[in-house]
Structure 1
Amino acid sequence: MTFSVSDQLKVSLFDVKKIQYKSRVIFDYVQSCYTVAYIKKGEVITTFEGKEYVAKSGDVMIHRPHKPFNVISKTDGIHYLFNIDLKVMEEVDYFSLYPLGKVVKIRDPILYEKKFDELRSIWLQETNDYRTVQSSFLAFSLLYEILESSKFGGKRTPNESYITDRFNNVLHYIENNLGENITRDELAQIYHMNPVYFSRVFKEIYGLTPMKMVKKLRMLQAKRLLETTDQTIEAIAQKCGFCDSPHFTHTFRRAFNISPSEYRKSIKNTKRTIISTLLDE
């Protein structure tokens, strides 16, 4: 039995390397080729097209060309990666024919690492006449392992619950600092995230931008203080992060169609009515 492969395949392998780091933060990184990064050690949060993925030891991250992505790791890590460009018939992207997930769990990490070490060894032999052919074959063997791993349920989906849990801490931070001057950049920096990306993902989860959430929580806090304390309007304005009472009054009225003093008066009248009713009964 014989067979032939008629598709013309153009392979460009640009780099093969191992990276070791203490922590890593990369924002809006764009490259001209694919980067296939295997995580030997560590845990990484990687973002792509508004979604966030968690990649752990034994996973492969596949970063697309000409598409910005983020990589965040707060722990020590070791990555095995190679940069590659694959074209079928010289113009069709190989990965468009065989699409893979952003993160794939490798079925046999020991085998993958062994093949990568072979590729790395050949890549470093710059005087080897067969270096180009051998390294291309070995890169294909790694891609084959990734493709087979994805078939066996190794494709990871965006971990949206993980995002939500992390941003709950942002809400706690806002609630504990309502009297301070809170900025979007400050909130994004807490998690070492690009402010624009942070704002976009935050809105996807909560339906509000970070700064509109700050405003909402300030208004809710103001209502609680008006309902439960006898503090002056000026004091409440300061505790809720407003520069002066006129600004606070204007914002409160726009949010609830009533001024702070009118709202407090309505609450007191409601309480008196309830107490009188209970006494009459």
Structure 2
Amino acid sequence: MSFSVSDQLKVTLFDVKKIQYKSRVIFDYVQSCCTVAYIKKGEVTTTFEGKEYVAKQGDVMIHRPHKPFNVISKTDGIHYLFNIDLKVMEEVDFFSMYPLGKVVKIRDPILYEKKFDELRSIWLQETNEYRTVQSSFLAFSLLHEVIESSKFGGKRSPNEEYITDRFNNVLHYIEKRLGENITRDELAQIYHMNPVYFSRAFKEIYGLTPMKMVKKLRLLHAKRLLETTDYTMEVIAQKCGFCDSPHFTHAFRSAFKISPSEFRKSIKNTKRGFIPTLLDK
């Protein structure tokens, strides 16, 4: 049995590029082709059909044609991406017939990056008479890696732990302002929600009200400062948003059943206990 590839599969490669950015925010973006974006560096929240996914270093995001999506990153990042239109029987989108996950963890990032560099090199050779054929073959090779990675369990679905929490931005907001006064209304405003409804929805996800979460994050930060710094109790109380040292001590003891000073002493004793063992080696 024989067949003509042109009758079965039509491929058009539009662009191959590397993107570096400080932060990235794209809302409701729609394109006429598919984008396969590999994350060389960074972490991205991508939203598709009402579901959120986290794509990390070594992952590929697949943005499908004619489907709006969001991309949000608050950190530095580098993406390797190519735009491709892939049709079966010249009219059916390949990714609708052979659906892959929105985010796929690549099984061999080093191999994928090497293949992408080959593709990028060929793509830039505009005077190369074989450029179209070679770049198409290399793009297929990258798609093969994505498909194989998905088969090997790299597909990330919205039912897995990689999904972002609905109020993930609130947690980041709190962590950056632990030493400041934070109110429920202020947190609700981030999502333009009624404070009562926001508090109820937040608790359904985390099991804590927003303000109890603020307190929890403050105490965890205080614990880290006790373990890693020599700050006084007054300084730690200030950095973690407690009005003074006695309030901080009371809250810490209530949460961990030990005072901050006792906790710090136990940490120092534990560290000293390890020293002879390490020196004996």
The TM-score, its normalising length taken from structure 2, stands at 0.61
CA offsets 1:11-61 (integer angstroms, 9 cap, x no match): 111100000111111111111111100000111111111110000110000
> Cα RMSD over matched residues?
3.0
Q: Which has the larger radius of gyration?
A: 1
Verify the 8 A CA contact 1:38 1:79 in the aligned structure 2. yes
Cα distance, 1:98 vs structure 2:
1.3
- Secondary structure of 1:15's counterpart equals strand
Pairwise CA distance, 1:10: 0.9
Which residue matches 1:138?
138
Is the 8 Å Cα contact of residues 170 and 190 (structure 2) preserved in structure 1? no
Q: Who is 2:183 aligned against?
A: 177
Whichever residue aligns with residue 74 of structure 1, its letter is K
The residue number in structure 1 matching 2:209 is none
TM alignment of 1:143-154, pairs within 5 A: 143-154=143-154
Q: Distance in 2 between matches of 1:89 and 1:112?
A: 28
Which residue is 1:187 aligned to?
190
Alpha-carbon distance change, 118 to 214 in structure 1, aligned in 2, over 3 angstroms: closer
> 1:218-239 CA distances to partner (integer Å, 9 max, x unpaired)?
xxxxxxxxxxxxxxxxxxxxxx
Identity %: 73
Q: Distance in 2 between matches of 1:42 and 1:156?
A: 17
Offset, 1:8 = 2.1
For residues 1-281 of structure 1, the aligned pairs below 5 Å read: 4=3, 7-158=7-158, 159=161, 162-164=164-166, 166=168, 169=171, 176-177=182-183, 186-188=189-191, 210=194, 213=197
Contact 1:37/1:62 (<8 A) preserved: yes
Alignment partners' CA distance in 1, 2:118 and 2:23:
27
The DSSP-based 3-state class of the residue aligned with 2:75 is coil
Per the alignment, residue 251 of structure 2 pairs with none
> What is the distance in 1 between the residues matched to 2:22 and 2:134?
33
Distance 1:161 1:112 in 2: 24
Task: Give the C-alpha shift of residue 126 in structure 1.
Answer: 0.6
SS at structure 2 position matched to 1:125: coil
For residues 25 and 32 of structure 1, what CA distance do their matches in structure 2 show?
20
Q: What is the alpha-carbon distance in structure 2 between the residues aligned to residue 102 and residue 214 of structure 1?
A: 28
Deviation at 1:160, TM superposition (A): 7.4
**Cα distance between partner residues in 2 of 1:176 and 1:161:** 26
CA apart distance, 1:177: 3.2
Deviation string 1:147-180 (CA, Å, 9 cap, x unpaired) is 000000000122476314626649989x9435x6
Contact 1:103 1:155 in 2 (8 A): yes
**Aligned partner of residue 163 in structure 1, secondary structure:** coil
**Deviations for 1:169-200, whole angstroms, at most 9, x for unmatched residues?**
49989x9435x6x697x413xxxxxx7xxxxx
Query: Which structure 2 segments of 5+ residues have no match?
Result: 202-281
Alignment partners' CA distance in 2, 1:183 and 1:171: 8
Aligned 8 A contact 1:25 1:71 in 2: yes
Deviations 1:92-134 (A, max 9, x none): 1111221100000001111110110010011001111111111
Normalising by structure 1, we get a TM-score of 0.61
